[in-house]
Amino acid sequence: MGQADSKQALGTGRRLALDVHTKLREMIISGDLPPGAPVLQAQMARRLGVSRTPMREAFRLLQEEGLIEYQPDQRALVRAIDPAELDSIYTSRIMLETVAVSITVRLATPEQVTRMTAALDDIRAHPVDKEPERWRQAHRAFHHITTEGASVHVRHSLDSLSESGERFLRIAQLGHPVSWTRWDADHQKLIEAFRNRDHDTAVVTIAQHLARTAVTAMADVAPHMDATATRAALNLICRGNPSPA
């Protein structure tokens, strides 16, 4: 095999490993592989119709993301939900995303508002319980627009936090029909704030929106605990209107 062929094979193998990683990640986030469930490389390789090599790389990526962990006997398990991690992720996201929204809304354009409206229409057209991946794509697109005025480094950090929080978002979405109405109303309120370049409303709305997700998920994951740090971040941003309920 020549050098060019070797590079092509490596590239193909890497893409396959990323595809496998994406599929396994979706299975974990969706709950198809619940917390504590064993994840066996050989079994998953057969299930997904791939060899052990891309599966090993996919497992390495999942471990780096904190989605699986290895036991002393080298068995991989889906990592249990950590309430402290939930609180930490949403605290960080509130503080950073409010800054990004603050920057973006001050210079909002009609074209941005049009794209936000289209993204919200897409969210509503693809219910998360029926088309979870389409819903997530539309939801990510909406929030990307509200933060696109920030630097690439800030946006990269936000993407990382968003990906880390997807498991908790999924938990918050399950079994809480009342919250669905509030989340949808938040998105609509953000559109109007951007339309009017209403800085304070945009910042408070995104902070409450994120805190509501954290508090709702925490109620399911650890009902004996409160998202203390998340609420502290919300208080700092909202100044007298901190309730995410």
Cα–Cα distance list, 38 to 20, 43, 62 (Å): 17, 10, 13
DSSP labels, 38-104: EE-HHHHHHHHT--HHHHHHHHHHHHHHTSEEE-TTS-EEEPPP-HHHHHHHHHHHHHHHHHHHHHH
> Does 3 have pLDDT greater than 60?
no
pLDDT tens digits for range 189-200: 999 999 999 999
> What pLDDT score was predicted for residue 8?
38
> What pLDDT score was predicted for residue 65?
73
> Does 6 have pLDDT greater than 60?
no
Instruction: Read off the pLDDT band of 164 (50, 70, 90).
Output: confident
The mean per-residue pLDDT over the stretch 32-56 comes to 88
Choose which CATH entry (1.10.10.10, 3.40.50.720, 3.30.365.10, 1.10.510.10) describes domain 3-78: 1.10.10.10
The encoded tokens of residue 245 equal 């309920």
DSSP labels, 136-192: HHHHHHHHHHHHTTS-HHHHHHHHHHHHHTHHHHHHHHTT-HHHHHHHHHHHHHHHH
> Does 2 have pLDDT greater than 70?
no
The mean per-residue pLDDT over the stretch 210-231 comes to 88
What radius of gyration, in Å, describes the C-alpha atoms of the chain? 20
Choose which CATH entry (1.20.120.530, 3.40.50.2000, 3.10.180.10, 1.10.760.10) describes domain 83-238: 1.20.120.530
Distance CA 199, CA 105 (A): 6
> Does 186 have pLDDT greater than 90?
yes
Does residue 239 or residue 160 have the better pLDDT?
Answer: 160
> Does 173 have pLDDT greater than 80?
no
Domain locations in the chain? 3-78, 83-238
pLDDT tens digits for range 69-125: 888 888 899 887 788 989 999 999 999 999 999 999 999 999 999 999 999 999 999
> What pLDDT score was predicted for residue 148?
97
The mean per-residue pLDDT over the stretch 216-235 comes to 89
Percent of residues, the chain, with pLDDT higher than 90: 42
